[in-house]
Amino acid sequence: MERNENKTTLTTIGIDRSTNRQIDKLCKRYNLKKGEIVKLAFEYMEKACINPSEPPESVKAELAKINKRQDDLIRFIRHFEEEQLNPMIRATHSIAVRFDGIVKTLEELVKSETQTTSEKHSIILQKISTQFVKHAEEVNNQSRQLSALGQIQKQDNRKLSNLIMLYAELAVCGVMDGKRKESLKSEINKLINPE
């Protein structure tokens, strides 16, 4: 089945002798077979949109038409360039130069404002830092004083506790415990009036 699809049907066409000689010359020049040269010629005419019934006048005439079209295009491009592109380029350049100037001015302004603000913030932070150091020293002093007061309070609490115990013992002592009463009184006096 596949062999039938790959086979090409060969046909013959009738051409005059002068055309046959031209085909033979082209075959020898390009090292092609007659079938190949005819196939390639038709493909070329198809791609180039050449109508074989209307052959070009001459190569020079076709080249002259192409050159005229190129010259027209070049003239149009130059005219468009002079009338449209160059003014746009000049205007764009002018805008870019002005924009650069404005950006540089703004940049300098922002830098100076940033530096001024930074200096102000630095001064404020220095003042705050100084105040915090003063407050920290004050807090530390008060903390030391509170700690010392706490120690004194502990000692006083111990003395008070001892006094309460001694008074309690003194209250418990009966009439017969005179010596014990005297020793408790002397201890109470020592606690109340330390040396």
Contacts 24+ apart (CB under 8 A), 114-121: none
80-119 residue pLDDT tens: 888 888 888 888 999 999 999 999 999 999 999 999 999 9
Q: Mean pLDDT across the chain, nearest whole number?
A: 84
The reported pLDDT for the residue numbered 186 is: 80
Condensed to tens digits (0 to 9), the pLDDT of residues 15-43 reads 899 989 998 998 999 999 988 888 898 89
Angle, vertex CA 96, rays to CA 94 and CA 101, nearest 5:
100
pLDDT of residue 1: 47
> Residue 106 and residue 28: Cα distance in Å, rounded?
78
Q: What is the pTM of this model?
A: 0.35
Which residues in 52-78 are b (16+ Cβ under 10 Å) and which e?
A: eeeeeeeeeeeeeeeeeeeeeeeeeee
- Residue bearing the bigger pLDDT, 190 or 3: 190
pLDDT at 189: 78
At residue 48, the pLDDT reads 77
Structure tokens at 105: 């001015």
Q: Hey, where are the domains in the chain?
A: 1-54
For the CA atoms of 66, 67, 69, 74, what is the dihedral angle to 10 degrees? 140
Average pLDDT over residues 35-52: 85
Q: State yes or no: pLDDT of 174 exceeds 90.
A: no
Looking at residue 4, its pLDDT comes to 57
Which H helix or E strand runs over 23?
helix 17-30
Between 1.10.1220, 1.10.3470, 2.60.40, 1.20.950, what CATH number should domain 1-54 receive? Answer: 1.10.1220
